[in-house]
């Protein structure tokens, strides 16, 4: 298969949604009686913190020297590449994470709500309230572009994750390694007309800042209500 066309991207304020639970103070901080004790607890916490471990030793497909430091929100950037989910995502496997975002918040809400709805369906109970924070970032430079590809002929764009993920992970790995790809711009499978972006390297995430907070609430039905809190 020939390599995909590229687009010279200049996209500001892309939206990644993360649970607001990840914005809170370190989980062990209430246990610390002094700053010194907090340092000791932080060292203990790092033993089970995937991001901190990966910053030291990397992952099977991630050199720790690729991670970023000394910029606003660097822990969130690094976490996207070091905290991988079993089975991976559309364009990355569990050996290396990636930064996923939407061009609009509506697209990101569609993507996030789809995956959490699947988790609720698996346990047979559509009862849940989760708050998400917007992480906004800019991207510049050449990205491979799947927007003009016929979706019926590209399995990586399938709505079925059982089809899309194996194909997309193979495509993402090939582009990242063989073509030194920055990432892929592609049509959202969960928000009609929406556009998503996956960045393959931490240093590509620029000008990160926190936007609004959204509440997604399931009340017995598979379609959640979505409310902007601020």
Domains of the chain by residue range: 6-228
* CA contacts within 13 A on the Cβ side of 229: 13
User: What pTM was estimated for this model as a whole?
Assistant: 0.86
pLDDT digits (tens, 9 = 90+) for 80-123: 999 888 999 999 999 999 999 999 999 999 999 999 999 999 99
What CA–CA distance (Å, rounded) separates 174 from 169?
8
> In 59-179, where do the E strands start and end?
99-102, 127-145
What CA–CA distance (Å, rounded) separates 186 from 196?
5
3: tokens are: 């390599």
Write the DSSP assignment of 169-180 as a string of letters: HHHHHHHHHHS-
pLDDT digits (tens, 9 = 90+) for 17-76: 999 876 655 443 443 444 454 344 444 444 445 656 666 666 788 999 999 999 888 989
Q: Which has more confidence, 197 or 73?
A: 197
Rg (CA), the chain: 18
């Amino acid at each position: 298969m020939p390599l995909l066309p590229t687009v010279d991207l200049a996209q500001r304020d892309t939206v990644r949604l993360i649970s607001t639970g990840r914005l809170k103070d370190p989980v062990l901080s209430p246990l610390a009686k002094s700053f010194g004790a907090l340092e000791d607890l932080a060292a203990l916490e790092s033993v089970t913190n995937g991001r901190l471990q990966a910053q030291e030793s990397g992952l099977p497909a991630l050199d720790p020297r690729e991670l970023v430091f000394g910029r606003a929100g660097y822990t969130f950037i690094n976490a996207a590449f070091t905290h991988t989910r079993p089975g991976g995502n559309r364009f990355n496997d569990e050996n290396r994470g990636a930064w996923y975002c939407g061009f609009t918040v509506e697209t990101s809400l569609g993507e996030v709500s789809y995956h959490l709805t699947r988790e609720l369906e698996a346990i047979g109970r559509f009862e849940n309230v989760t708050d998400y924070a917007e992480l906004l970032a800019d991207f510049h430079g050449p990205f491979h572009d799947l927007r003009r590809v016929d979706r019926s002929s590209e399995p990586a764009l399938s709505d079925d994750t059982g089809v899309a993920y194996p194909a997309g992970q193979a495509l993402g790995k090939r582009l990242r390694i063989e073509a030194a790809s920055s990432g892929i711009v592609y049509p959202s499978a969960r928000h009609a007309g929406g556009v998503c972006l996956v960045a393959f390297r931490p240093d590509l995430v620029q000008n990160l800042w926190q936007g609004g907070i959204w509440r997604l609430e399931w009340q017995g039905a598979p379609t959640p209500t979505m409310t902007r809190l601020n």
